[in-house]
Amino acid sequence: MMKYLQKLGKSLMLPVAVLPAAAILMGIGYWIDPSGWGANSAVAAFLIKAGGAIIDNLPWLFAVGVAVGMAKKNDGAAALSGLVAFLVVTTMLSSGTVAMLKGIPVEEVPGAFGKIVNAFTGIISGLVAAACYNRFRETKLPQFLAFFSGRRCVPIVTSVAMLVVSIILFFVWPVIYGALVSFGIAIKDLGPLGAGIYAFFNRLLIPTGLHHALNQVFWQNLAGINDIGNFWGPTEELLACNGIVGNYTVGMYQAGFFPVMMFGLPGAALAMYHTAKNNKKKIASSLLLAAAFSSFFTGVTEPLEFSFMFLAPGLYLAHAVLTGISVAFAAAMQWMAGFGFSAGFVDFVLSSRLPMAKQPWMLLVQGVVFFAIYYVLFRFLITKFDLKTPGREEDDVSDAEMNATLANNDFTKVAEIVLEGLGGKENITSIDNCVTRLRLEIVDYTKVNEKKIKSAGVMGVVRPSKTSVQVIVGTQVQFVADEFKKLCE
């Protein structure tokens, strides 16, 4: 199971890699025009829309990215199937479709269906599409249906599979969503403790998209709290009582996120960088640095969280616990700030002078402490339990292998020699590659000629089992893999 989750985590790296730049564009645009979100500035509108084209469509990216990453041959048919899967489930469970199926007005459709376009449905769509591709990509149909054989049948099978998934979610999704709303309402009167519990589940539920259920209770006006609205546009009654009503203080469900997003997660990124393998530090740093800056500047944490969420689930649980502690502590200390975009530097500066802000600069002090806590705890857990965070994946190789270059830069020729040494394309059942290795599944291990393979200039051959062969190529592996796949078609 852990190996499957780690492969899923690696599959998410492709879509996650594009998020930091998009988040920063949106953050700058929001800074320029925080009230109008581009309505008052053409420059702001350009930046916000440019970044939003990626951020707002993250579930679509996950559907395609996971399908490609989890498929055995990273084929375009898998990507198309991921898109088809996502289109089916989000269309079948949209508010309009549900209204027609139930024969009720759209206004009466449970709010859960208005939140069906999320990272969870994107990931599920990608997983189903990849499973269908791996199972049906070589299916041979009768002659009169031959056109739909092989890869062409995969999107068709995927669409049928997603109809089944849609039926299941039709009954399950609103029940779970409603239960979380009820849970949020039950803890809303617990003061700082309730704020901490909410923040814990807010982070924990992000992979499923169900955090929106709790957000509606605390950030919007579903249960009469409307914390974001009250912070940015307080009523005269709230101004008169300084934003304190019983156990509730305006901003208490927002403020504690700033120390985590601006400081805690960057501290976690630094810990992951320092614990990465020496030969992968450069690769890890490029992702972690961009993701950490995105978290600090804009409060968009998905690039960083999804980089270790599935690779090291236990670490993500620790992150959720720390977030809960941070929010509860800030609420108890009455240090308040709010956000309209997310809990990053931009919103901190914009909100710190508003009437409902209370000692916001103390959140920076808390943030420094949480930077240290995240760094120490993450570094300890990663090294203690050998967690596979970015730069520590199982396909790690030595420095010599990472820095190796092929003796022959004719990648087509190299692929031909390797294929011959593996017994020809009839002996290959699966082709994949990591950072430095071709990872292959074979039929007959007796046909493998290691001497022949090494004559191509590769660094070595590893044979983990009778059906698996890994050819160590070096950092040029992608070029060899592309040519190798062409030869096997």
- How far apart, in Å, are the Cα atoms of 65 and each of 287, 360, 405, 411? 17, 39, 29, 26
For residue 400, the SS3 value is helix
**CA 178 – CA 343 distance, rounded (Å):** 26
Query: Distance of CA 3 to CAs 19, 70, 434, 472, Å?
Result: 25, 12, 15, 21
Cβ neighbours of residue 73 closer than 8 Å, sequence gap 6 or more: 137, 430, 431, 432, 485
In DSSP terms, which residues pair with 440 in a beta bridge?
431, 469
Q: How far is CA 90 from CA 16, 330, 360, in A?
A: 21, 38, 40
- Within its chain, how far is the Cα of 332 from the centroid? 31
Per DSSP, what are the bridge partners of residue 461? 471
At 192, the amino acid letter reads P
In whole angstroms, give the CA distance from residue 188 to residue 177.
17
Q: How far apart are CA 47 and CA 55, in angstroms?
A: 12
- Contacting residues for 284 by C-beta, under 8 A, at least 6 apart: 272, 273, 276, 390, 391
Write out the E strands in 181-287. Answer: 244-245, 248-249
Residues 469, 442: contact at Cβ < 8 Å? yes
- How far lies 239's CA from each of 188, 228, 235, 312, in Å? 21, 15, 6, 45
For residue 439, the SS3 value is: strand
User: Do 80 and 155 contact (CB within 8 A), yes or no?
Assistant: yes
Distance between CA atoms of 418 and 424, rounded to whole angstroms? 9
CA diameter of the chain: 83
192-204 vs 153-187: helix crossing angle, rounded to 10: 170
Residue 454's contacts (CB-CB under 8 Å, 6 or more residues apart) are: 421, 460, 461
Listed residue (28, 29, 79, 23) closest to 53, CA to CA: 23
Strands (E) in 113-186, as ranges, are none
Catalytic site residues?
434
Which of 297, 294, 252, 5 has the alpha carbon at shortest distance from 123?
5
